[in-house]
């Protein structure tokens, strides 16, 4: 199975740009909200890319489909793709918060998570890409 990480790379690049713009204008809620949306999109591509690569390198790719999200993240850490699985589970919680409710304090919380997530996403991309070479 060929895994194309182009969309994931582009999402990370967009997230980096969005966060930089939001950081440059901290009072602009629309830029912050845009960065949060980019975080949500990039997070989805991140774990789906991880899953596809795990399927590619697994002796039993079908077994990956039956893993819980938590087990998928743990396996990603075991295989050396993720340094801190608990951080990735936390990012998922933040992503879910942003999708289901909106208030100013939660938006600020999710935005802070997005700032932390950006470097984690970039590290994951680099490791996935290296594994596919």
Residues marked active site are found at 95, 100
Q: Give the Cα separation of 70 and 41 in Å (integer).
A: 19
Q: Which two tokens stand for residue 11?
A: 């999402």
Dihedral of alpha carbons 18, 24, 25, 27, sign: positive
For the chain, percent helix, then strand, then coil, each to nearest 5?
Answer: 80, 0, 20
């Amino acid at each position: 199975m060929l895994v194309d990480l182009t969309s994931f790379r582009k999402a990370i690049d967009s997230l980096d740009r969005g966060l930089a713009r939001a950081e440059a204008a901290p009072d602009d809620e629309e830029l912050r909200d845009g960065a949060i949306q980019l975080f949500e999109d990039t997070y989805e591509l991140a774990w789906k890319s991880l899953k596809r690569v795990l399927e590619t390198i697994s002796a039993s790719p079908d077994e990956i489909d039956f893993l819980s999200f938590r087990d998928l993240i743990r396996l990603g850490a075991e295989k050396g793709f993720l340094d801190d699985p608990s951080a990735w589970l936390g990012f998922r919680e933040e992503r879910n918060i942003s999708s289901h409710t909106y208030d100013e304090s939660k938006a600020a919380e999710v935005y802070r998570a997005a700032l932390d997530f950006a470097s984690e996403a970039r590290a994951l991309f680099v490791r996935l890409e290296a594994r596919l070479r």
